[in-house]
Structure 1
Amino acid sequence: MVRIFRVFALIVALGWSSLAAAAVDITFHSFNGSVIAGRYPHAFVSMEGTLEDGTFVKENFGFSAKRTTLAVLNGPVEHTILVEKDKWLTRTNRHFTITITDQKYREVRALVEAWRNAPGKYYDLETRNCIHFVGEIAKIVGLDVVYPEKMMRRPKKWLNYITGLNPRLGAEVID
């Protein structure tokens, strides 16, 4: 009987420790853009880790115009949620990473789906671009967020600004 109790206690302890180890990290990225690479400056987030139920998470999301045309300069256009390929993830500025709860993870995912499924032309270069998308995610995870007009087309500069607004992150500004 004592042996069965010990085995049971070991199983519970192992299960408990794996739950305690569950965590998802969310990283805030900017991409500088490159005419050669054919990419514009961009902000997005990636999430990686394990939820409390053991589900492995490895995903990333950004917000963009569905097509890159001059129409982007004239107001709202069709939108898309971008998922970056691994090759782009390695070429980004990683501004800061925060460990989030399962609840915050679900809130971020709900925001992603809300923006993905928004009706009509939802992307607006001035009022609802990749920076606004990442900013709303930053608010979910408890960061102070401001959108200075002069930074709304400069993801790296804006994320550096957010780093400065949130010194508790312990993050460094990226040159």
Structure 2
Amino acid sequence: TLMIPKSKLDLFPPRAMGYQRSRESFKGDLGPAFDPASAAATASNMTFSILLNPERVSRLILYKSLNDKQLSLSELLDTMIENTFKMDHKEDYQRELQNMINDQLLQNMFSLAGDQNGYFQVNAIAIKKLNELADYLNTKKAKGEQGLIESYTIQSIRKFLKNPEKKREYQQPKLPDGSPIGMD
């Protein structure tokens, strides 16, 4: 799980005045305070962007055609959606982190569906899975703020599907550089 336990969040106090974020800090949306949701979003985006690399998923199409026992792109996306959007968290903190992770998967699926560098089958499958996700969220009918978030997700999917080839502005979260190699 990408959740930093609540008991450990106190170990990340806001930076003192005069101490700026460094290249080794996660970028967040909470000013000087550590943003655990942005950290989870950044880590999940790294994973999703590797798994959903257009050339990689094009190979899934080819490998599945050569050997039926290989993982298909549909199976990969179903598994990813099952373990993100279809997860049910009772605790608000977990649910908010999951919403950030869900958004990263959604953005990566948009990129995949609109990418013109791989097999066209990739676009077709990604668009089908986006439609299925919107239908699932629409039938789920969550209440309260979660319902608003899911309604926004459905609207985002519908808007994207009107013109999947259109270039979109999306700032992928950047991983911190980490300590330089060879430093004590």
Q: Shared topology, TM-score over 0.5? A: no
TM-score (norm 2): 0.28
Structure with more strand by fraction: 1
Higher helix share: 2
